[in-house]
Chains A and B, each alone.
Chain A
């Protein structure tokens, strides 16, 4: 799948852009970007929490910590998402 927005799907000639295809590709790219953002922040936070003085490799306790940290970060993310959504709904109800 090319990274472009369908201008290359050129096999069909004529070069007409299909809005449906564009929207699907954009949705995928957005989802990928969000996953990357999440991973980047999670890695940062879990590195800070779990790695003290960096050794020659990740020892067992560090790995366990990172695994737990990942799950807790996801829990936190979901909690924040729900809380924010509730707040938005409340604000809309009050308008």
Chain B
């Protein structure tokens, strides 16, 4: 359901296309920001011992690896879920249960 049909359903008529585009762009930006917040928090636990006068190269490499592995994990989970869903559905596909 895209934003224009959403607003029509809510009885708002059609949204100004400029605003609609703005909403889409800002939503994307926020998704990115949220993930950066989340990964920084997670990776801090894994990569930071004692805060020093600067971020040493080992810690920096750890953060980079951490981000990559987090994304890999996310993709792995989605892929595997898709596969196992085909043989043994975990989530019901119908909305009416």
Q: Do A and B bind each other?
A: yes
Given contacts A69-B51, A80-B63, A84-B67, whether A38 and B19 have CB atoms under 8 Å apart is: no
CB distance from A42 to the nearest CB of B (A): 9
> Using a CB-CB cutoff of 8 Å, which residues 29-84 of chain A contact chain B?
30, 34, 37-38, 41, 45-46, 49-50, 65, 68-69, 71-73, 75-77, 79-81, 83-84
CB distance from A95 to the nearest CB of B (A): 13
| A contact residues, total (Cβ < 8 Å) | 31
Which residue on chain A has the smallest CB distance to residue B36? A81
Q: Contact at B63–A73, with CB atoms within 8 Å?
A: no
Given contacts A38-B37, A83-B63, whether A68 and B53 have CB atoms under 8 Å apart is: yes
Give the CA-CA distance A26 to B71 in the complex, in Å: 29
> Using a CB-CB cutoff of 8 Å, which residues 22-46 of chain B contact chain A?
22, 26, 29-30, 32-33, 35-37, 39-41, 43-44
Show 23 residue pairs from A and B whose CB-CB distance is below 8 angstroms, ordered by the A residue.
A19-B19, A23-B19, A30-B29, A37-B37, A38-B37, A45-B44, A49-B51, A50-B51, A68-B52, A68-B53, A72-B48, A72-B52, A73-B40, A73-B44, A75-B55, A76-B43, A76-B48, A79-B55, A80-B39, A80-B43, A83-B68, A84-B35, A88-B32
